[in-house]
Chain A
Amino acid sequence: MRLRSPRDVRAPRALRGLRPRLIAACVAVAVLAAATASWASAASASNSLLRSTQQRIADTAARGITDTAPALVYPPDTGDLRKIRDALDGPVVVTYESLRVQAGETAAITEQLRTAVHGGDHLALQRVDSATGMKLLVGMPVLITGVDGQQRPSGIEVYLVRDLGEVVRQVNALTRNAIWTSALALPVAVLLALLAARGVLRPVRELRGAARKLAAGDLDARLRPSGADELAELATTFNDTAASLQSSISELARMEADSRRFVADVSHELRTPLTTLTSVAEMLEEDLERMPSDARASIELAIAETRRLASLVEDLMEIARFDAGAAQPHLERVDVPGVVRECLRSRSWTGQVRLDSPEELAAVLDRRRLDVIVANLVGNALRHGDPPVVVRLSADEQELHLEVIDNGPGLPEGIAAQLFDRFYKADSSRGRSAGSGLGMAITAENVWLHGGTIEAGNTDSAGARFAVTLPRWSEET
Chain B
Amino acid sequence: MRRAASALCVLLVVLLAGCTVRPSEVFDGGDAATGVAKGTPVYLLDSEGDLVLRRPTSGLGTIGQALRLLFTGTDPDAGALHSRVHLGSVPTALDIPVAISGDTITVRLPIPRRRVYGAKGIDQIVCTVLAVHIQRGGSPSSKVVLTFTAGRPTESRTCPVLGR
Contacts and interface: CB of A to CB of B under 8 A. Distances in A.
Interface residues of B, number: 48
Identify the interface centre among B19, B20, B62, B135: most chain A CB within 10 Å of its CB. Answer: B19
Interface stretch (B25-33, B75-83, B96-104, B112-120): B25-33
Interface in A156-187: 156, 158, 164, 167-168, 171-172, 174-175, 178-179, 182
Contacts of A213: none
Contact of A39 (B8, B15, B23, B134): B15
B30 to A, nearest CB: 5
Interface stretch (B34-42, B85-93, B144-152): B34-42
A145 B34 contact: yes
Contacts of B162: 147-148
B136 A66 contact: yes
Contacts of A167: 21
Contacts, number: 186
B25 to A, nearest CB: 7
Q: What size tier do the contact residues of chain A reach?
A: 35 or more
A122 B29 contact: yes
A147 B134 contact: yes
Main secondary structure on B side of the interface with A: loop
B19 A178 contact: yes
Nearest to A142: B33
Interface in A6-63: 8, 10-12, 15, 21, 24, 28, 32, 35-36, 39, 42-43, 46, 50, 54-55, 58-59, 61-63
Given A125-B26, A143-B36, 18 more contacts: A10-B2, A28-B5, A32-B12, A35-B15, A66-B136, A70-B62, A71-B59, A72-B60, A112-B25, A112-B26, A120-B32, A126-B23, A134-B23, A142-B33, A147-B41, A147-B53, A154-B36, A178-B16
5 pairs of A and B residues whose beta carbons are closest in the complex? A69-B35, A123-B29, A65-B33, A149-B140, A175-B19
Interface of A: 8, 10-12, 15, 21, 24, 28, 32, 35-36, 39, 42-43, 46, 50, 54-55, 58-59, 61-63, 65-74, 76, 110, 112-113, 116, 120-129, 134, 138-149, 151, 154, 156, 158, 164, 167-168, 171-172, 174-175, 178-179, 182
Interface of B: 1-2, 4-5, 8, 11-12, 15-16, 18-39, 41, 53, 58-62, 130-132, 134-137, 140, 162, 164
